[in-house]
Amino acid sequence: MKRIATIASLLLLILALTSCGGGSPGANTTVSGIASKGLIINGVVKIYSVTGGAKGVLLAQTTTDDNGFYTADISPYSGPIMVEASGSYQDEATGSTQTIPADSPLHAALSLAQGAVNLPVTALTELAVIKMGGDLTPEAISAANTLISDLFKVDIVATLPVSPTSAALASATQAEKDYTLALATVSQMASTSIGSSDSDKLNNALATIGLGISSTGMNTETVTAIQSALTDFVSNPNNNTGVSNTTTTSLVNAGTLSKSYKLNLQGAFTPNSVTGLQFSLSLPVGVTLNANSSTSAVLSSSLVLSGATPSGTLLAAKYTPGSLTVAIITTNGLSAGEVITLTCNIPAGESAPSPTSFTVTNLRSIDQDGANVPGTSILIN
Averaged pLDDT, 162-178: 94
Q: Mean per-residue pLDDT for 26-35?
A: 90
Predicted confidence (pLDDT) at residue 217 exceeds the cutoff of 90: no
pLDDT per position as a tens digit, 72-130: 999 999 999 999 999 999 999 999 999 999 999 999 999 999 999 999 999 999 999 99
Are 328 and 313 a contacting pair, CB within 8 Å? yes
Q: Average pLDDT of the chain?
A: 90
Domains of the chain, residue spans: 19-122+138-145, 166-253, 257-380
Q: What is the pLDDT of residues 120-164, one digit of tens each?
A: 999 999 999 999 999 999 999 999 999 999 999 999 999 999 999
Phi-psi region of 96 (alpha: psi -120 to 50; beta: other; left: phi over 0): beta
Q: Is the pTM of this model over 0.85?
A: no
Domain 19-122+138-145 identical in fold to domain 257-380: yes
Is pLDDT at 323 greater than 80 in this prediction? yes
State the fold for domain 257-380. Answer: Immunoglobulin-like (2.60.40)
CA 331, CA 317: separation in Å to the nearest integer?
A: 19
332 with 309: CB under 8 angstroms? no
Q: What is the pLDDT of residue 243?
A: 94
What is the mean predicted confidence (pLDDT) over 349-364? 93
- Fold held by 19-122+138-145: Immunoglobulin-like (2.60.40)
